[in-house]
Structure 1
């Protein structure tokens, strides 16, 4: 009710130590850390983001054994990784880099996706199977959601962890095609030509007739059977067992555990620990694959991961929310991209 903007509330609840004007703050910092004698103005000793970030080590272990952590975040689509899009080309490149490294003993695949393109899902799944063929353990860690295509790309896993509130399932296939025949009629545009088969010249400017609808339905049914078979094989269950919980139904992680879609409730740390155990390694370091963080992002990430407070307290969560949003904003503005997603399409506006 008081909100984090209320300074008195923040000070009373030990979220902040107090308030100072800029000159008071400057003098406080000089008293605490000393005067910067090399500066042209009277100020305190400081270090730049860039210099400080160089002192942050990714891992303290000197072991050659490596556990690779790769993330599929957002809608699964072909192409490169972007904000809100798990681009298959980029994710596959990371998986390939990991399994081509002789030091990689296990891959923890963090899935936080509502699904997307079946082709893109297939690309990621195939590359994970290549890793497994080399004897590399693949452990999946599901995030907020791992549904539809998120389940599809999880099928190569040796073991699946899910957060207590993960939404998963949605084992199904949807084919959505926009048709523009009414729009073309409205603006007075007509098409004509010669084709050698009944549907050879079909495009979205034409309606879908009953015969064509049956063809698309057949494609969807084949893809659905393939999907169910993949999940059944992955979970060591029968086709009938998985089909009984499929059909597009979604499940909370605790329910998914009961019906066998996941193996254990736990977060990313539990998945990494299990990956090390499965690979039978005691000494290892964790390699996080993804876009390189800027110095500012690296420092904010370090702050978020190392806050020496109880994150269960509402006032602390409120205080961290601003830092978290700043962190996400810094990542998002590096490559601004506008996009609209739906179950069967992606409109990408460069």
Structure 2
């Protein structure tokens, strides 16, 4: 697959167009293009008063205020989770690792459950703070003589996940009728996405994914573990940096859209099968594919059972679980790297 970049960019554009075009209200391509053009002109007119956006199209609210920010947010969240998944699999030298393994999702669940009780309007903020604090706890517990062995970090993340899940379940049970809001968030949703969410996620994605793409050589080397020290890599430093990037990308993704599984596991593996293990192409390709995949998943979540909207986490689980079982069987036969 030599022309992976234009192929994945084309897939991203197709996913984005379908995400905006398809929905409960029928639109035609001219509605979409006219609404997007009007939205861009309106935004620019605030900076350049000479620009006249013209008459507002009838479909503007649907396209610009509802569907477009939702599609862009889904793409950025998928981009972030897939990139964090690539880094997690390299860091733990485990092809079945995903970005939630260091306690991010479990911690975010506690924050979301607490917010549903005390501050429903600030669920994302509570989830973000709780997710970052959880990573800090897992990281601190894992320290051995100032360093963080990956096996200890893995075990600490799993143990913390069980503890946090128990706390989250208790909080959900105590919510009574209000538990529905937390349930929807825990299963993942882009309902209510706005341009503020898109802007925040764009900055985080730019920083986090940009760093991982930039450090592709270090990701290649860290696969060798302690042996990479002999190759000139400061393993302990880069473990901290990669853990920070994984935590940043995953925490913001989860706080924005809830817990969406399998994107960080499936996307890197599909790209690895097509492109090989070199992170120079694997990291950006997985990011682009993860973004497109999550946009398609959200489109299915909106349309499969309309007018009811399914949590997007259900769709990604239906897509990802069979692939995970396939990977598990390959790992069992020793066909995946260890």
Q: Place the TM-score, normalised by the shorter chain, in its bin.
A: under 0.3
Normalising by the residue count of structure 2, what TM-score does the alignment of the two structures yield? 0.21
Normalising by the residue count of structure 1, what TM-score does the alignment of the two structures yield? 0.20
The higher-RCO structure (CA 8 Å, 6+ apart) is 2
Q: Kindly indicate which of the two structures has a greater share of residues assigned to strand.
A: 1
Q: Kindly indicate which of the two structures has a greater share of residues assigned to helix.
A: 2
Larger Rg: 1
